[in-house]
Structure 1
Amino acid sequence: HLSGPLDVERLREALLTVAGRHETLRTRFEEHTTGPVQIVGDTPMIDITAQDLSHTADPASAATATADELARLPFDLETGPLMRVVVMRLRDDEHVLALSMHHIVSDGWSVGVLLKEIQAAYTGQDLPAPPVQYADYATWQRTWLTGDVLEEQLAYWQTALAGAPPALDLPTDHPRPATPTYRGAQLTDTLDTHAVTRLTHIAQDRGSTLFNVMQSVLAAVLARRAGQDDIVIGVPVANRSRIETEDLIGFFVNTLPLRTHITPTDTFHTLLDQVSRTSQEGLSHQDVPFERLAQHLVPDRDRSRNPLFQVMLAFQNAPATEQILGQARLTHLPTGDGTSKFDLMLITQEDTTGELSLTLEYSTDLFTEHTAHTILNDILRTCHAAAADPAQPLHELTALSETERELLLHTWNATDRNDTLTCVVERVREHAAHTPHAIAVTDDHQSLTYAQLAGRASRLTRELLTAGITPDDRVVYHGQRGTTALITLLGILGAGGAYVPLNLRAPHTRQADM
């Protein structure tokens, strides 16, 4: 949000100037026989448009909707551009600037660099030429990260993650799809200044950081909710260890899978000490790209889950940029793209008042908004408990809230029934009579309504009875899983028979014995 006079044409020129300085903003990627190849053009590849929303009924809402739509637009890596900008006029002295960049050419740190240089170019300041370009860094990294250096780094992670659980098995509201859709949503809350100050002092007393405190809290909450004592959390790191990379726009960030062992009787102090050691060791071995690490440690992927970890903690600490553009004051407006990269991601960021903003991004494939609220509340409650007494054992810090206790002990246990439980075949027939057109079952090939399911099962029942099936006769089903298997099950049970499915992958001798 820009409050104050703005020269849109000068802003356009500033954007083009900055893009001309960084090869990543002049880049597209072509598919060659050996794989993708970076093509750097001579001119900036930025899509810049201006919109006048001042005539709309609600300019602010229209700007938010436009920004959200921009965030959801896909990029074409082969043709570009990989950066889009929309400047929206709400009124004479009020604009909204929406920026969308593909992650292949930028990261969170890059946004600060981009804004800083836009501000300088807008006011006509001379910018020194970048000492290197991203391609130079990539070439250096590929040359350096070989041989003994690479082997030592890979060996560390091989040892650090040996025996780690293949997945974090959090209870979910919906079955995990075989292929993630990456649809998601976000919830945001705030940790007050007093708690943040107290947690910061606790960290300093242990020679640690607020980031390690939040990592410890998240690990403890996940351990309690998943019922696991071995937790792996993904943590992004800026990976800009060389001074030449500090003012470059590009994708430098790397991800570290940091492992934490949870002992419920340990104190928060003990957990924080462990997390601090693990983080320091991981940071000293942060140079292996995560995708290389995943290829090395998880050659056989479960396509329904992210490899090595399913929950990420992002602690935003990129350098702050002066919030002014000429005579216009800048204010950050949060937006969302309706996606979730992982099962859960906790994004934390300190603001100027000393509060800590906590944003929980969650997969809507797996969790309802209510469950996401409960998880975020767990995190906040554990932060307050740790701030009040870090010498408490973890099982007390992460104890159930009164709301959850009521839900588990009373609401979920209210299982009294007034109706009579009948057999499943009768239940399906009753449902077909009341909601015949509702979808009952779906597989890769077709969907059946309750009327269709009940009708086909009844026809099979009649055929089996005609064939001489009597109660308790065993009837073998030799076929694929899917709608046909369910029709067969109901048809056999309706005739009084026992359903005996055969495993098509079993050896023929095993099937014959069955």
Structure 2
Amino acid sequence: TTEAFLKDAPAGYRTQANDLLLTALGRALCEWGGHSQILVDIEGHGREDIFEHIDLSRTVGWFTALFPVALAPQGEIGGAIKRVKEGLRRVPNRGLGHGVFKHAGDAAQREALRALPKAQVVFNYLGQFDGAFRHDMGEGAGEGAQWIPAREEGGAQVDDGAPLTHEFSVNGQVFDGQLRLSVSFSRARHDAEAVLGWARRFQEELEALVRHCASGPLGVTPSDFPLAGLDQQALDALPVPAARLADLYPLSPMQSGMLFQTLLEEGGGAYQNQLRLDFKDLDAARFRAAWEAVFKRHDVLRTGFLQREGHPLQWIDRNAQLPWREEDWRERNPSREDTAALAQAEQSRGFALAEAPLARFVLVRTGARSHHFIWTVHHLLLDGWSTSQLLGEVLRHYGGQGLPALPGRYRDYIGWLQAQGAAASEAHWRREVSRLEGPTRLVDALQKPTVAGTGYDNVRHAFDAEATGRLVAFAKREHVTMNTLVQAAWALLLQRYSGQRAVAFGSTVSGRPGELEGVEQLVGLFINTLPVICTPQPGQAVGAWLRELQAQNVDVREHEHTPLYEIQRWAGSAGPGLFDTIVVFENYPADQALRENMPGGMTVDVIGQHEETHYPMTVKVVLSPALVLQFNHDRSVIGEREAAAIARHMSQLLEGLVSDPSRALGTLELLDDAEQAQLQQWGDRADGREDADDAALLHRLIERQAKLHPESPALSFEAQTLAYGEL
């Protein structure tokens, strides 16, 4: 029974020894006394790890804590265990504060505690006492140990005449492989046979509890998942078996937004990422073993998502298996089109978001020395930095290197988020969004495609080494980052396209808080998308505005964990949101991770990388080592010609920004030389047309409007307005 109590029973309801012992004790005493509840004082060791700067592990003294707990142990056995367990978990700091307030609190606190009912029973479980004597001397209790408990009685520890603090004192410990429980009481006050009766009942109840719990996982309670914030009824209603539920907690802000968009566009490919690699001389068995190790190492890879109204949760599947498939295509002599078709088929399968894992791995042997690898994963699990981290870990494990212990888990980040105050961030973002006159919609400024396409396409603009060097050198001289430089060009492009004074676009930030220990080594979705709001003034110098934008980006770091949906709510923005474009700066691309961690004797090439958002335009920026801009656009609203023009204009603005830091922003050209020549040609043709319709010329239209509506506003600038008649 003792072995089952220690090793098997805790799995039933994720209990500790005290949970079961107190449930059994409470049931026995309630039955004996005819009560439904009982108050018990519990002794604890008092060495609680609640002060970061205090280590009591080697300090000698009396630290014992004593605190009361009301037990409600009656009724169905499973429900009784859950109630007692939760009652114990609700005690803050394992009762350490009770004695502090009772003896060292202020007058009101001391009086309040003195007025509470007094427990008649005190309970103390010392734990596995024989463990102290097998520290380094074998498995048997005391085998070869320098110190072991004596077999002889030690005599009375308390004078017989000392007053009893409680009617009954119940003590327990495990020694020599046996759980031993004793009850101390006054024979002058209690009949020994009566006490022996309820003590036997205590033993029977405990044995029944152990048999019940040792059958396997039976249930969970709210204290098992403190971040989730669910009560017992909500936990019991979850569509996940307790045996599979390793952890449960809320989503990060970015995860919440992605989950909403994924469910909104059910069947679409948004946020379903895919990486395709070609290997030479790969050992398939070692490669799979490396992925198996990483899959077990990181909880986030075994995550599913439960959509609950207003409160989605992510859960870790204890039993999730690596979704791995291998195929041998050597006889087919596959082409690039064949492997691309397989990748598309994997992409089209999608994911059931509630079921972990949200990833699939396909390894295809394409030749005697070649393999094609397809990794499809939902963006809900990983950001770009984490993807590169994982690839590095896989390759290091493949190469025989050991992986360091993880400094934490993704749940630590969720806990950090819950501890953050929102007031300062709300004030910051309210100030920012107040600068906007309305949403910035690039799609509304573009000509609609003649024939709307489907899916997403990509326009790529690569700067050569010379141009990249020029851009990087300029950024260094002006003490700004390349990210700021690209954002500046995009803000100017949006301003020119939209005609708005203040423009907004999304920017992806890393989201990894510096105060969270080891955060750079953690894997998960840490990024967040936040609005960048810009009001570039035509007369402002390039250098001055770049530094202003850089300072704005630095300021936002203190508030980068704010959910985008909250910012949009504070802005009063309903519908599509504040912007329809985002800029993503890729700090650690996958190919760099592969190059830096590649074991000897093997080569790899990145064949394809599919990343899709729900925004009509995503500008992906990669600096490795040349600067590359990728314009991923939704073909249903942005045509190929428009996307190509945006890429040209972005390049033109970047070149203009770095030409002279003292240059006024208003003098930067959006159009390249060819486009300006085209405009001039169109103007020359119009001027030379003998059959030109004089009535259609602009100044004739203004004259006609002035005759019809002379008092109507024609031009407005700051506080000045001109009517048509004045114009």
Change beyond 3 A, Cα 1:162–1:86: same
Counterpart Cα distance in 2 of 1:265 and 1:239: 34
1:278 and 2:548 equivalent? Answer: no
CA contact (8 A) 1:11 1:122 kept: yes
**1:457-472 to 2 correspondence within 5 Å?**
none
1:158 and 2:430 equivalent? Answer: yes
Percent same amino acid at aligned positions? 24
> Which structure 2 residue ranges, 5 or more long, are not aligned?
1-276, 692-727
**1:206-355 to 2 correspondence within 5 Å?**
206-241=478-513, 242-298=516-572, 301-302=574-575, 305=576, 307-318=577-588, 320-321=592-593, 322-325=596-599, 327-336=601-610, 339-351=612-624, 354-355=625-626
**Structure 1 residue matching 2:658: 3-state secondary structure:** helix
**Structure 1 residue matching 2:588: 3-state secondary structure:** coil
**1:46-445 to 2 correspondence within 5 Å?**
46-56=322-332, 58-142=334-418, 144-145=419-420, 149-170=421-442, 171-174=445-448, 183-241=455-513, 242-298=516-572, 301-302=574-575, 305=576, 307-318=577-588, 320-321=592-593, 322-325=596-599, 327-336=601-610, 339-351=612-624, 354-405=625-676
Residue 123 of structure 1: how far off its partner (Å): 2.6
Amino acid at match of 1:159: R
CA contact (8 A) 1:122 1:325 kept: yes
**Structure 2 residue matching 1:246: 3-state secondary structure:** helix
Structure 1 residues 230-275: Cα deviation after superposition (integer angstroms, max 9, x where no partner): 1212111111123422122211111121111122232322321221
Q: Which moved more, 1:250-259 or 1:378-387?
A: 378-387
Residue 93 of structure 1: how far off its partner (Å): 1.8
Change beyond 3 A, Cα 1:92–1:255: same
Tell me the residue number matched to 2:200: none
Counterpart Cα distance in 2 of 1:56 and 1:414: 60
CA contact (8 A) 2:392 2:597 kept: no
Change beyond 3 A, Cα 1:18–1:219: same
CA contact (8 A) 2:433 2:533 kept: yes
Q: Which moved more, 1:200-209 or 1:247-256?
A: 200-209
Structure 1 residues 27-72: Cα deviation after superposition (integer angstroms, max 9, x where no partner): 2123457743332122344321123343446522322332344344
Change beyond 3 A, Cα 1:369–1:388: same
Change beyond 3 A, Cα 1:54–1:292: farther
CA contact (8 A) 2:493 2:670 kept: no
Change beyond 3 A, Cα 1:81–1:399: closer
Structure 1 residues 334-358: Cα deviation after superposition (integer angstroms, max 9, x where no partner): 3336x5521221111112xx31111
Amino acid at match of 2:617: L
Structure 1 residues 143-196: Cα deviation after superposition (integer angstroms, max 9, x where no partner): x21xxx3100111011011141322243222289xxx99932111120122222
Tell me the residue number matched to 2:154: none
CA contact (8 A) 1:53 1:59 kept: no
Counterpart Cα distance in 1 of 2:477 and 2:639: 39
Tell me the residue number matched to 2:62: none
Structure 1 residues 342-398: Cα deviation after superposition (integer angstroms, max 9, x where no partner): 1221111112xx311110011222211011001001111222233333333323323
Counterpart Cα distance in 1 of 2:683 and 2:297: 60
**Structure 2 residue matching 1:327: 3-state secondary structure:** coil
1:15 and 2:291 equivalent? Answer: yes
Amino acid at match of 2:619: L
CA contact (8 A) 1:60 1:90 kept: no
CA contact (8 A) 1:256 1:282 kept: no
Change beyond 3 A, Cα 1:345–1:29: closer
CA contact (8 A) 2:329 2:365 kept: yes
CA contact (8 A) 2:407 2:522 kept: no
Counterpart Cα distance in 2 of 1:209 and 1:88: 41
CA contact (8 A) 1:199 1:386 kept: no
CA RMSD, Structure 1 to Structure 2 (Å): 2.9
TM-score by length of 2: 0.52
Counterpart Cα distance in 1 of 2:671 and 2:536: 17
Amino acid at match of 1:24: V
Change beyond 3 A, Cα 1:212–1:33: closer
CA contact (8 A) 1:75 1:82 kept: yes
CA contact (8 A) 1:68 1:336 kept: no
Counterpart Cα distance in 1 of 2:309 and 2:656: 57
Residue 23 of structure 1: how far off its partner (Å): 0.8
Tell me the residue number matched to 1:509: none
**Structure 2 residue matching 1:332: 3-state secondary structure:** strand
Structure 1 residues 261-303: Cα deviation after superposition (integer angstroms, max 9, x where no partner): 12223232232122112111112321213233334434x521x
Change beyond 3 A, Cα 1:59–1:260: same
Amino acid at match of 1:217: A
Change beyond 3 A, Cα 1:328–1:127: same
Amino acid at match of 1:195: A
Counterpart Cα distance in 1 of 2:339 and 2:683: 44
Residue 323 of structure 1: how far off its partner (Å): 4.8
Residue 224 of structure 1: how far off its partner (Å): 1.3
CA contact (8 A) 2:281 2:603 kept: no
Structure 1 residues 449-490: Cα deviation after superposition (integer angstroms, max 9, x where no partner): xxxxxxxxxxxxxxxxxxxxxxxxxxxxxxxxxxxxxxxxxx
CA contact (8 A) 2:475 2:482 kept: yes
Change beyond 3 A, Cα 1:268–1:77: same
Change beyond 3 A, Cα 1:126–1:174: same
Q: Which moved more, 1:88-97 or 1:21-30?
A: 88-97
**Structure 1 residue matching 2:415: 3-state secondary structure:** helix
Amino acid at match of 2:508: P
Change beyond 3 A, Cα 1:294–1:92: farther
Change beyond 3 A, Cα 1:182–1:137: farther
Structure 1 residues 403-431: Cα deviation after superposition (integer angstroms, max 9, x where no partner): 43466566699999x9xxxxxxxxxxxxx
Change beyond 3 A, Cα 1:194–1:33: closer
Structure with the greater relative contact order (CA < 8 A, sep ≥ 6): 1 or 2?
1
Counterpart Cα distance in 2 of 1:268 and 1:211: 15
Amino acid at match of 1:391: S
CA contact (8 A) 1:237 1:254 kept: yes
Which one has the largest radius of gyration? 2
